[in-house]
């Protein structure tokens, strides 16, 4: 009786636990007997915890976590990871708490299980939000311990293997999530064997008919191509042996999902895909990789432009190999990969291939450190907004990197396809991105939104007082850059909201001949607490963001609040409050409506919009009528004596339709030292056209001068300011 049989004999009912013998056998192949005994004990504990629970397939529930643990044992992971896999559903599906697991199996196991556990006890607005929040928790737990994602991937892999027990709708939902998130995540961590199986299982569950069609077609084509491959592999093997290079040459078949994606990407039929098979050459050292490449290219002519050197420049997940495509017999393209034995081990198992097995601990080498570097960025990403935004940000970084660029000192940075200079700046360091003002590509000044190409050298120019431009978020593609910009703007927006909220409350307190300086800090804190806010700053922020009304807050803070609420100041004959003065420099929380384009000097009013702050309109704006249903959100505003910004205004110019009239009107506007932001041409008929100019002016007087100059032109038939014609930002 072997050791596994001995352990099974010690476990009550263990011979009836599906998969347990296989798990203990896989673990016993590389772990110390004491560690295997811990795994056996965990299986006993898990079986008891899940007693009476069944899977959709009808088998005992314990079969699932045991099977997930076997996946990890085959990757030769440490004891704590395998135990956590056995117990990964205990906290979620049984009364056992995290503390109980910590006492029985240690803090490491408890933390891993907690990282995998879904957030079922929290109520979310939608299923999508729940999934995103669960994924956020899992990824942030990965930052502390990479083994969390290994357990989660093993859990998902076994669920996909047994997905037939689910309803069709549920199968499709799980399969789509697997293809969009878990398979790319496995690839990002270098777990290629797991990634390929997840993709094929997900493809079969999501598109069963397409899967069957491709599978059937490949079976028909398999015979002839395999004969070619056998001949090619023998030729290459003989050529390598003749050159004195010891190598293993084997054939590999492309997976169905990769073939399907190639059909979609290139918009071709299955009959047009000929490189379904490939060769893999495994040698002893890096030196032999390049020697073998020369031999392979000598045996079969390589395709131009299809060589990739991932040995000198590894992929971000640590994958290394030489890739080349050859012209085989009858012009059949054959993909060949050349790598060392260590590279092959890493390509199949990723970070799992680097685990060091020690009793009670684990450590990581360079590839794990590289994965941790990516994961550490998740801490800053989680502040970027909602769970859905976080999930979308991470999804961008899950796919393979395609662009390799250099710093001025020669360091290689890997960025996604389409990455811009701003993405590069944030990849160097968040502070570099925040202070970026210009950049040089190959020593030439280049716009910041320029997309990067392979091999470029990028130099970032920074300035101490520079801040991120809000428009950057519209073109950056990396999650780190987007999260850093949003986080900075979030902090900036909050400080502006607090300042605006203080001004609004001061304006309302003026009705009681008071200001915030007359209100004690204790009173402010107490009022904030009554309204469910942490402190006075949060109170000011809510008012500035339009989520709380300043007059109501003022009446809480003012003397004799009850009486003041019962008898409004205006009814008692008091004077109206002093209007809020706007200067145009208030920042993100004061914006100017693009339906009526108010400029300094116009009669204006403001509307308090929840989440957006103050929106200033002209008093004669047609859209103001829509707000009359909410008079409590109107705000009396006036212009500061000397506004400190340029304002946008839109002019509609009806002109005679002749050659050069647009240029003539634009030149007349430029002659008044006025910038033109945007021009539209609206054809009316054969004789007349309408030109729409968006211009930048200092005030109403400046605008009047521009209109006077335009009106004097002989081709101008009619001129007017836009007033609620469009509602682009309303």
Of the CA atoms within 13 Å of residue 200, those in its CB half-sphere come to 14
Kindly state the tokens that stand for 260.
């399907």
Quickly list H helices, 145-207.
Answer: 147-161, 168-177, 183-188, 192-206
The per-residue DSSP string of 32-83 comes to -HHHHHHHHHHHHHHHHHTTT-B-TTSSBTTHHHHHHHHHHHHTT--HHHHH
The per-residue DSSP string of 399-446 comes to SPP-EEEE-TT--EEEE-TT-BHHHHHHHH-HHHHHTEEEEEETTEE-
Of 92, 309, 392, 694, which is the active-site residue? 92
Neighbour order of strands in the sheet with 590-592: 590-592, 613-618, 604-609, 634-635
Closest CA to 648 of 708, 545, 726: 726
118: left (phi over 0), alpha (psi -120 to 50) or beta: beta
Residue 325: beta bridge partners?
A: 335
CB 517 within 8 A of CB 410: no
Element (H, E) at 622: none
CB 649 within 8 A of CB 616: no
**Residues contacting 477, CB < 8 A, separation 6+:** 396, 416, 418, 419, 420, 423
Element (H, E) at 179: none
CB 319 within 8 A of CB 366: no
Closest CA to 291 of 251, 338, 361, 257: 338
CA dist 262 to 206, 272, 329, 333, 336, Å? 17, 11, 23, 15, 18
CA dist 590 to 139, 473, 582, Å? 37, 20, 8
| Catalytic residue check, 92 | yes
Opening angle at CA 438, ends 434 and 443, nearest 5:
130
Residue 638: beta bridge partners?
A: 581
Of 93, 253, 348, 499, which is the active-site residue? 93
Distance CA 472, CA 462 (A): 16
Instruction: Give catalytic residue positions.
Output: 92-93
């Amino acid at each position: 009786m072997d050791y596994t049989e001995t352990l099974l004999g010690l476990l009550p009912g263990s011979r009836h636990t599906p998969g347990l013998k296989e798990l203990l056998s896989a673990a016993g192949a590389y772990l110390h007997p004491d560690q295997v005994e811990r795994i056996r004990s965990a299986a006993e504990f898990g079986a008891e915890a899940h007693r009476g629970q069944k899977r959709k397939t009808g088998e005992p529930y314990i079969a699932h976590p045991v099977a997930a643990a076997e996946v990890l044992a085959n990757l030769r992971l440490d004891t704590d990871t395998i135990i956590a896999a056995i117990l990964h559903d205990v906290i979620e599906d049984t009364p056992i708490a995290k503390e109980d697991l910590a006492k029985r199996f240690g803090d490491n196991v408890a933390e891993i299980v907690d990282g995998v556990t879904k957030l079922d006890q929290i109520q979310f607005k939608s299923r999508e939000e729940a999934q995103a929040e669960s994924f956020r928790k899992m990824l942030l737990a990965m930052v502390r311990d990479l083994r969390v994602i290994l357990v989660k991937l093993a859990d998902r892999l076994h669920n996909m293997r047994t997905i037939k027990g689910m309803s069709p709708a549920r199968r499709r939902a799980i399969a789509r999530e697997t293809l969009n998130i878990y398979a790319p995540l496995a690839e990002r961590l270098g777990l290629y064997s797991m990634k390929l199986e997840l993709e094929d299982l997900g493809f079969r569950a999501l598109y069963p008919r397409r899967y069957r069609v491709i599978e059937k077609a490949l079976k028909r084509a398999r015979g002839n191509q395999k004969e070619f491959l056998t001949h090619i592999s023998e030729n290459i093997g003989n050529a390598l042996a003749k050159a004195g290079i010891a190598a293993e040459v084997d054939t590999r078949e492309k997976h169905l999902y990769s073939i399907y994606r190639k059909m979609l990407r290139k918009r071709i039929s299955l009959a047009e895909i000929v490189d379904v098979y490939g060769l893999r050459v495994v040698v002893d050292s890096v030196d032999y990789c390049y020697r073998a490449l020369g031999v392979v290219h000598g045996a079969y002519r390589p395709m131009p432009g299809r060589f990739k050197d991932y040995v000198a420049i590894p992929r971000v997940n640590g994958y290394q190999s030489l890739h080349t495509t050859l012209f085989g017999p009858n012009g059949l393209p054959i993909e060949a990969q050349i790598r060392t034995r260590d590279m092959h081990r890493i390509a199949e198992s990723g970070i799992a291939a680097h685990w060091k097995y020690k009793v009670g601990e684990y450590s990581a080498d360079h590839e794990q450190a590289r994965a941790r570097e990516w994961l550490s960025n998740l801490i800053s990403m989680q502040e970027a907004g909602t769970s859905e935004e976080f999930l979308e940000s991470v999804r961008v970084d899950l796919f393979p990197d395609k662009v390799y660029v250099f710093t001025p000192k020669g360091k290689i940075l890997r960025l996604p396809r389409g990455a811009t200079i701003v993405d590069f700046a944030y990849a160097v360091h968040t502070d570099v991105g925040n202070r970026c003002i210009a950049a040089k590509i190959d020593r030439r000044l280049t716009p910041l939104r320029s997309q990067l190409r392979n091999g470029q050298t990028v130099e970032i120019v920074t300035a101490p007082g520079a801040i991120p431009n809000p428009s950057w978020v519209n073109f950056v593609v990396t999650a780190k850059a987007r999260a850093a910009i949003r986080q900075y703007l979030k902090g900036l927006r909050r400080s502006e909201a607090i300042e605006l909220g203080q001004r609004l409350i001061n304006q309302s307190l003026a009705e009681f001949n008071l200001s915030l300086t007359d209100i004690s800090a204790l009173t402010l804190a107490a009022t904030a607490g009554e309204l469910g806010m942490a402190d006075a700053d949060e109170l000011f922020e809510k008012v500035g963001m339009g989520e709380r009304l300043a007059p109501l807050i003022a009446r809480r803070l003012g003397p004799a609040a009850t009486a003041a609420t019962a008898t409004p100041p205006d009814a008692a004959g008091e004077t109206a409050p002093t209007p809020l003065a706007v200067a145009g420099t208030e920042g993100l929380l004061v914006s100017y409506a693009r339906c009526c384009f108010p400029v300094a000097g116009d009669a204006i009013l403001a509307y308090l919009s929840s989440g957006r702050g103050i929106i200033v309109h002209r008093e004669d704006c047609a859209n103001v009528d829509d707000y009359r249903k909410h008079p409590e959100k109107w705000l009396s505003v006036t212009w500061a004596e000397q506004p400190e910004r340029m304002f946008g205004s839109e002019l509609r110019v009806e002109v005679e339709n002749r050659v050069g009239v647009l240029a003539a009107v634009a030149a007349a506007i430029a002659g008044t030292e006025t910038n033109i932001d945007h021009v539209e041409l609206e054809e009316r008929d054969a004789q007349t056209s309408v030109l729409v100019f968006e211009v930048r002016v200092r005030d109403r007087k400046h605008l009047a001068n521009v209109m006077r100059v335009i009106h004097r032109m002989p081709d101008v038939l009619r001129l007017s300011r836009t007033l609620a014609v469009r509602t682009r930002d309303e």
